[in-house]
Amino acid sequence: MRVACVGECMVELSERPDGSLVRGFGGDTLNTALYLARLGVTVDYVTALGDDPWSDAMVEAWGREGIGLERVRRLPGRMPGLYIIRTDDAGERSFHYWRDSAAARDLFSEPGAAETRAALEADDLVYVSGISLSLYGEAGRAALAETLAALRARGGRVAFDTNYRPRGWPDWEVARAAFRAALAQADLIFASVEDLDWLFGEAGDEEVLRHRGRAEIVLKTADGPVPVARVLHGTSDTKVPAGPVDRVVDTTAAGDSFAAGYLAARIAGLAPEAAAAEAHRLAGAVIGHRGAVIPREAMPALAF
Ligand code: ADP
C-alpha cells in the first residue's frame, strides 16, 4: 500500500514579542504525511520546492521522518512559500502569507509535471486537501482532477480533507466549484462541519452527505462538549466522540493528524469506527503539545 500526500509545505516564522522570528516549517498535507510515516505507512510527499537552503532543510527533515522524497520536484531558482505567525496581546494568533510565487503552486505546470502525474496515477491512495486545491489555479486543478480520474479508473483511491482557507481562493464560487468537484472524486472524505458551513453556508454538511453510500465519510463536529466524528459508510452512520484530553495546548495539526491516524488504522485493517477512535487518540496527543509535530516520545500507542 503506497500513499501519496499532495500539497505545500512552507517556511514558518513565529514572531516573538521582541520582533525576532523563529523558523519552522508548516503545511497541512505535510503534517498528515509525517504522521502517516510515523505510523508505519509508506508515504510519499508530492510537492515542488526550490533549490534554496530552506528547501534543502525541509527535504532533510522529511527524510529523517521517513517520508518518501523521490517525488519532491526541485525547481531551479524558485523558493518555498513563507508565512509569519503573529500573536497579539490577547494571545490571538494571525497568519500572514507570502506564497503566491511558491514553487509548490507549479506542481502541475512545471516541466516535470507529466512525471508527477504518471506517478500519481499509479498510487494506491492519494490524499489531497482543500488547501492543496487552492494552490494550482484552474488549469492545475483540471490536471489534478484528470490524474485522479485515471488513478480511480485503475482502482486507486482518493482521500479528500476539506481544509478551507478563504484567503487561498479568488472568490467563493471558485472555491465551491472546486470543492464540489473534489468531493465527487473522493472515495474517503474528511470534513469539518465548520469548514463546510463557512464555505457553503448553513447546512454545508449536505454537500458532503450527498456522497454517503458511495464514499466513506468522516464528518467532524466540534459544537458539543467534545469533538465528535460522525462516520458514514454503506448504510451505517455512527458517532464516535473524542476521548477526554488533559490539556489543549495548541490545536495546530489536529485535523491533519486525525486524518493520518484514520488512514493508517484503515490501512492496517481496522473498521471505520475503530479507525476514528484511533484518530481521535492521535489528534488528542497532538493538541497536548505546542506546534504541529509532537516529539516522537509523545506519540500515543495506537491499537494497530
Ligand atoms: P481541524 O479544525 O484542524 O480539522 P478539528 O477541530 O476537526 O481540527 O479537530 C480534529 C480532531 O482533533 C478532533 O476530531 C479530535 O480528535 C481532536 N480534538 C480537537 N479539539 C479537541 C478537544 N477539545 N478535545 C479532544 N479532542 C480534540
Going by alpha carbons, the residue nearest to atom 10 of ligand 1 is: 255
Whether the predicted pLDDT of 91 surpasses 90 = no
- Tens digit of pLDDT for each residue in 111-140? 999 999 999 999 999 999 999 999 999 999
The rounded Å distance from CA 251 to ligand 1 centre is: 7
Ligand 1 pocket, residue 233 CB under 6 Å: no
- Tens digit of pLDDT for each residue in 187-207? 999 999 999 999 999 889 999
Whether the predicted pLDDT of 85 surpasses 90 = yes
Task: Output the pTM of the full model.
Answer: 0.97
Ligand 1 pocket, residue 255 CB under 6 Å: yes
Report H helices in 122-233: 130-135, 137-153, 172-185, 193-200, 205-209
Whether the predicted pLDDT of 107 surpasses 90 = yes
- Tens digit of pLDDT for each residue in 263-303? 999 999 999 999 999 999 999 999 999 999 999 999 999 99
Residue 58, CA atoms < 13 Å, CB-side half-sphere:
30
- Tens digit of pLDDT for each residue in 157-178? 999 999 999 999 999 999 999 9
Kindly provide the ipTM of the predicted complex, given to two decimals. 0.97
The rounded Å distance from CA 72 to ligand 1 centre is: 29
Residue 181, CA atoms < 13 Å, CB-side half-sphere:
17
Ligand 1 pocket, residue 251 CB under 6 Å: yes
Ligand 1 pocket, residue 287 CB under 6 Å: yes
Active site residues: 256
The rounded Å distance from CA 287 to ligand 1 centre is: 8
